Amino acid sequence: MKKVLVLGGNGFICRNLVKTLVQGEDEVYSFDLHIPEKKIPKVHYLEGDFFDDYVLKNVVQGMDIVYHGICTLNPGNSNDKYMQGYTRDLVQTVKLCDLLRENNARMIFLSSGGTVYGKQPEMPIKETVLPRPINHYGNLKLCSENMIRVFNVQNDTDFRIVRISNPYGPGQDYQKGVGFIDAALKRGLAGEKVQVYGDGSVVRDYIYIEDVCNVLAHMGMDPGKHDIINLGSGRGASMQEILSIVKGFIPNLQVEYLPGRSVDVPEIYLDNHRLMKLYPSKLTTLEDGIKKYYEYLKEL
C-alpha cells in the first residue's frame, strides 16, 4: 500500500482526483488551506499553507506519490499577478521538488496543455514542439516544467509532467477564470446570458473530468518513467460547437458576444497519441460529457 498525497485537494481537478484515488488500495491524503465541509470517506485530510516551508516539509514526509495541483495564477489573472507566480509559486515548487528528491517520492505536476504551447502552426500539438506561451500563466507552468526536468536529469528523480487541456465537469467554477462549458451550462440553466469573447470561433480541447482523473490515477501508479504527456481529447471544438450542443438541452440559451481577448490563442488541441499508447482508454465524447454534466447540474 502506498501513501498518495494530493496538493490542492479541495480544488476542481484534485477533489475529483481524490475521489478516484480512494477507490483504489492506497492511502490517500488531501492537503489544502482548509478541511472541506463535505469530506470524502476514507480520505485523510491535512490542512495548511503550501507556502509555509515547515508545513510543506511535514506534509510530504513519508509520501510515495505526490500530485501537485496548487497554482495561484490562472490564464485570466496572470498578466496582472505574474510577479506572484514567479516569486512564490515557482520558488515553492522548487522547494517541493527538493523535498521530494530527498524523500525519493514520485511527483505528478499538473501543467497546462491549453497555455504552455501558445500559438502553434500545426494542430494537433505534439509534446515535442517548442512551447511558446503568450501569457504568464503558461510561462509559469513552462518554467516549472523546465526546473522539474532538470531535477530528473541531474538527480534521477521520478517527476512527471502532465499537460492537461480543458477539463470540464462537476466541481468546476467558471467564475475562477476558466471553464466555457461550465459557464454555458450554469448560466443557461439560470436563464442568464452566456458571454463569448470574440465570434465564437476559438477552438479548445475539452476533456471530461472523470477521464482526466482516471488517467492521473493510472499515471501515479505506473512504474515506467516518462517526463511529459499531453492529457487531452485529441479533438478541437469551437465555442460555437459547444453552444450548439448546449442548446440541445437548453433551447432558449441566450448568448452575448464581447470583443476578443489578447490572452486567447485562436486554436489549441493536443495530440494524445503518447497518452493513448501509455494509458489506453476510451474517452468520453464531448456530447456525452456535456450531457452528463448537464444532468448533474440539473439535480443540484
To ligand NAD, the closest distance from the beta carbon of 109 in angstroms equals 8
Q: Is 243 one of the binding residues for ligand NAD (CB under 6 A)?
A: no
Give how far the C-alpha of residue 2 lies from the chain's centroid of Cα atoms, to the nearest Å: 23
Q: Is 167 one of the binding residues for ligand NAD (CB under 6 A)?
A: yes
Q: Is 51 exposed, middle or buried (0-12, 13-18, 19+ CB in 10 A)?
A: middle
Task: Find the DSSP H helices in 159-208.
Answer: 180-189
Q: What DSSP string runs through 55-107?
A: HHHHHHTT-SEEEE---S--TTTHHHHHHHIIIIIHHHHHHHHHHHHHHT-EE
- The residue at minimum Cβ distance from ligand NAD is 11
User: What phi, psi does 70 have (nearest 5°)?
Assistant: -105, 125
Instruction: List binders of ligand NAD among 29-68 (CB under 6 A).
Output: 32-33, 49-51
| 8 A C-beta contact, residue 138 and residue 116 | yes
Instruction: List binders of ligand NAD among 180-199 (CB under 6 A).
Output: none
Residue whose grid cell is 458571454: 195
How far apart CA 30 and CA 8 sit, in angstroms, is 7
Mask of contacts with ligand NAD, 106-145, x by CB under 6 A? ----x-x---------------------------------
Size of the site for ligand NAD (CB under 6 A): 22
Stretch that binds ligand NAD, among 151-159, 160-168, 192-200, 255-263 (CB under 6 A): 160-168
Q: Is 265 one of the binding residues for ligand NAD (CB under 6 A)?
A: no
Of the candidate residues 4, 5, 6, 10, the single one contacting ligand NAD (CB under 6 A)? 10
Which residue lies nearer to ligand NAD by CB, 84 or 240?
84
Q: Is 284 one of the binding residues for ligand NAD (CB under 6 A)?
A: no
* DSSP assignment letter at 166: E
Please report, as ranges, the residues that interact with ligand NAD according to CB under 6 A. Answer: 8, 10-14, 32-33, 49-51, 69-72, 110, 112, 164, 166-167, 176, 178
